[in-house]
Structure 1
Amino acid sequence: MNKSVGFDLVFSTYESLGPRKYVLTIFIFLVYSVATLANIFIMLVIYLESSLHKPMYIFLFNLICCGLLGSSAVWPKVLSNLLTDLHTSSYEGCLLQVYLLSIYAACTYSTLTVMAYDRYISICKPLQYHNIMNPSKIKIWLMLSNLIPVFSVAGQIYLTSRIPLCSHSLNKLFCDNLSVINISCGTSSLSLLSNVYGLLIIVCLSVLPTFLIVVSYAKILSVSLKVSKNSQSKALGTCIPHLIIFINYSIATIFSVIYNRLTMIMPNEMNVFLSVQVTLLPPLLHPVIYGVRTKEIRKCTAKITQRLCASTNCYYTSKLRVPKIFAISGSL
């Protein structure tokens, strides 16, 4: 069966969910809604508070954008499929979903790497920090951490789109690159090239960033052991949120590899669980961890909340008409 544009792919996993799909729908809707609102709120806090216009929080802003991109590329479509009997996606829509999901994965690793470098410079070279992490350098790091994944993944999607398909059925909740390749026809040279290119992307945009992050934290640890306990606690306070997110995302990535390689022999319950673990839960942790663990964000969040409450109270107070008896007693 040759590939041609204009056909639909069918997700077979939905058929086996039965009544459980309603529970899954409520769970996904609640988690996705809470994660999206919380992430947008943290972004607003960073944007509105000038005291947070620092490299670490600028990179955090970018990391949150990556998380919103990944979750929004997947879960609205999944919810739509759960609520209707049409468990399908156009082939073009599937490729777009694969592209956005791959950008999310690659940009998250590249942004976490830049954040680790920022923490390394801050702790290991504090006197040179402002010279190294100046505004122009920050712009360059942001451009590289976003544009390299965007163009690299575009090459992968182009190769995938050129491979003919022999099936229109995916045993998944959503599209991913390996699933599309797995339903391709035979082992053509184009399919081999796509696999080699995909492996190269994994090494450059996942394995190498992980190595750089580990090296950064090894150097941070070696420096922290030589300073006072007060300095150690400050260093840990700035590094722990990033480290927790990195470890959580790395675990999610490992689950993703297992999910993609063993999906055909997994029970559907595990299939659904790993889908949630990969793209739904990591974005939820960004506002939770940074909102709880980062003192500056907590302070700025409380400040903005107080402003909103004060403005709301002033608005309603101005709208209320004070009875004359209270006005007279007030003047007495």
Structure 2
Amino acid sequence: MLNATQLSYFTLSAYFDTGLFKYLYFTIIMSLYMLIVGSNVLLIVVICMNRSLHEPMYLFLCSLFVNELFGSTGLFPFLLVQILSDIHTVSAPLCFLQIFCVYSYVCVEFSNLALMSYDRYLAICCPLQYSARMTFNKVAVLICVTWLIPVVAILVLISLIAPLQLCGNVMDRVYCGNYSIVKLACSDTRVNNIYGLVITFLTVFGPVSVIFYTYVKIFSVCFSGSKQTRQKALSTCSPHLAALLNFSFATCFQILQSRFNMSNVPNVLGILLSLYFLTCQPLFTPIIYGLNMSKIRSACRRLLRAKV
């Protein structure tokens, strides 16, 4: 038996031979990755370069776009290499790095979404106190905490799986996962299982609970206010709700797939759904916010005209 850090590589058995179609898949994945990078970088540049967008809501959006780049970069280059390769293995250090990137991305995403819902709650339910309660210093601290806590939590997670004694090195996945390594362990994994559940609860259900509470308050204010108030609130909250529902669905399936036996799900469907939250969320988030927020649309037009 070897511990996880002593293994030289892991084998990813979920890949299957696609013949010449692998070049088609490579082109599709590369195009998606370029679109994700281009759209998120564009919006980050637009927000940073326009002082009119240096408001809490847009700064939280900028943090969200940076996280989309971080998460997709933790998967797409690796996926492109695996698609063209005939031997689907990954070195142990790279596997741990990918676990850190993917899991940190998920935790930061939910924290960012909770932060944005809190910002909308203050703007709609406490408009007179908004400027005093959402200062620039407070925004900076909230963004730092949103990133720092998940990063520390995932580093602890990796430190717990590294010493595990493993009886194999084959994972039935297309990328590395924490619980996939835990299932290979011959040693006691109770601490890993308990910590994994605690982290899942704190980083997924904790932020979702905050979002649920804030939206109950927002909707109560909307329905008791005028028609104009309802329309304004819905126009600012609908992109956030769309992003939240999309990411929550994908993450819940990912948790179910990693924790329970999903052998009755077709292999191709399982692969697509396991990649969904790492592809569709970074792709659709800039589109959702870019199309729905007039300030961002006008700033993008001004930037493109300036370049032309």
Which TM class, normalised by the smaller chain length?
A: over 0.9
The CA RMSD over aligned residues, in Å, is: 1.4
Amino acid at match of 1:105: V
Q: Describe the superposition over 1:218-267 as per-residue Cα deviations: whole angstroms up to 9, x where unpaired.
A: 10000011221112111111111111101111011112123323355543
What residue in structure 1 maps to residue 156 of structure 2? 155
CA 99–296 in structure 1, closer or farther in 2 if over 3 Å, else same: same
User: Number of residue pairs matched?
Assistant: 306
Q: Which moved more, 1:258-267 or 1:156-165?
A: 258-267
TM-score by length of 1: 0.89
Amino acid at match of 1:37: G
Aligned partners of 1:226 and 1:246: how far apart in 2?
A: 25
What residue in structure 2 maps to residue 324 of structure 1? none
What residue in structure 2 maps to residue 99 of structure 1? 100
Structure 1 contact 160–181 (Cα < 8 Å) conserved: yes
| Deviation at residue 23 of structure 1 after TM alignment | 3.2
Amino acid at match of 2:80: L
Q: How does 1:187-266 map to 2 (within 5 A)?
A: 188=188, 191-260=189-258, 261-263=260-262, 266=265
Structure 1 contact 255–278 (Cα < 8 Å) conserved: no
Give the gaps of 5 or more residues in structure 1: 310-332
What residue in structure 2 maps to residue 318 of structure 1? none
| Deviation at residue 15 of structure 1 after TM alignment | 3.2
Aligned partners of 2:157 and 2:264: how far apart in 1?
A: 26
| Deviation at residue 268 of structure 1 after TM alignment | 2.1
What residue in structure 1 maps to residue 274 of structure 2? 275
Aligned partners of 2:14 and 2:221: how far apart in 1?
A: 50
**2:23 pairs with 1:25:** no
**2:56 pairs with 1:55:** yes
Structure 1 contact 16–268 (Cα < 8 Å) conserved: no
What residue in structure 2 maps to residue 82 of structure 1? 83
Amino acid at match of 2:87: L
Q: How does 1:179-190 map to 2 (within 5 A)?
A: 179-186=180-187, 188=188
Structure 1 contact 255–277 (Cα < 8 Å) conserved: no
Structure 1 contact 32–71 (Cα < 8 Å) conserved: yes
Aligned partners of 2:197 and 2:160: how far apart in 1?
A: 13
Aligned partners of 1:243 and 1:114: how far apart in 2?
A: 13
Amino acid at match of 1:195: N
| Deviation at residue 95 of structure 1 after TM alignment | 0.8
Structure 1 contact 103–150 (Cα < 8 Å) conserved: yes
Q: Describe the superposition over 1:277-323 as per-residue Cα deviations: whole angstroms up to 9, x where unpaired.
A: 121111101110001011110111111111111xxxxxxxxxxxxxx
What residue in structure 2 maps to residue 323 of structure 1? none
Give the gaps of 5 or more residues in structure 2: none
Aligned partners of 2:50 and 2:87: how far apart in 1?
A: 45
**2:171 pairs with 1:170:** yes
What residue in structure 2 maps to residue 320 of structure 1? none
Aligned partners of 1:44 and 1:169: how far apart in 2?
A: 42
Aligned partners of 1:216 and 1:280: how far apart in 2?
A: 28
Aligned partners of 2:166 and 2:31: how far apart in 1?
A: 36
Amino acid at match of 1:14: Y
Aligned partners of 1:30 and 1:249: how far apart in 2?
A: 21
Q: Describe the superposition over 1:112-135 as per-residue Cα deviations: whole angstroms up to 9, x where unpaired.
A: 101000000000000000000001
Aligned partners of 2:246 and 2:102: how far apart in 1?
A: 17
Aligned partners of 2:22 and 2:302: how far apart in 1?
A: 41
Structure 1 contact 172–271 (Cα < 8 Å) conserved: no
What residue in structure 2 maps to residue 117 of structure 1? 118
Amino acid at match of 2:202: C
**Bigger CA radius of gyration:** 1
Amino acid at match of 1:149: P
Q: Which moved more, 1:232-241 or 1:11-20?
A: 11-20
Structure 1 contact 99–153 (Cα < 8 Å) conserved: yes
Amino acid at match of 1:114: L
TM-score by length of 2: 0.95
Aligned partners of 1:198 and 1:20: how far apart in 2?
A: 37
Aligned partners of 1:115 and 1:9: how far apart in 2?
A: 38
What residue in structure 2 maps to residue 316 of structure 1? none
Taking every aligned residue pair, what percent have the same amino acid on both sides?
Answer: 33
Aligned partners of 1:8 and 1:194: how far apart in 2?
A: 21
What residue in structure 2 maps to residue 290 of structure 1? 289
SS in 2 for 1:173: coil
SS in 2 for 1:139: helix
Aligned partners of 1:20 and 1:307: how far apart in 2?
A: 41
Aligned partners of 2:185 and 2:19: how far apart in 1?
A: 29
What residue in structure 1 maps to residue 2 of structure 2? 2
| Deviation at residue 19 of structure 1 after TM alignment | 4.4
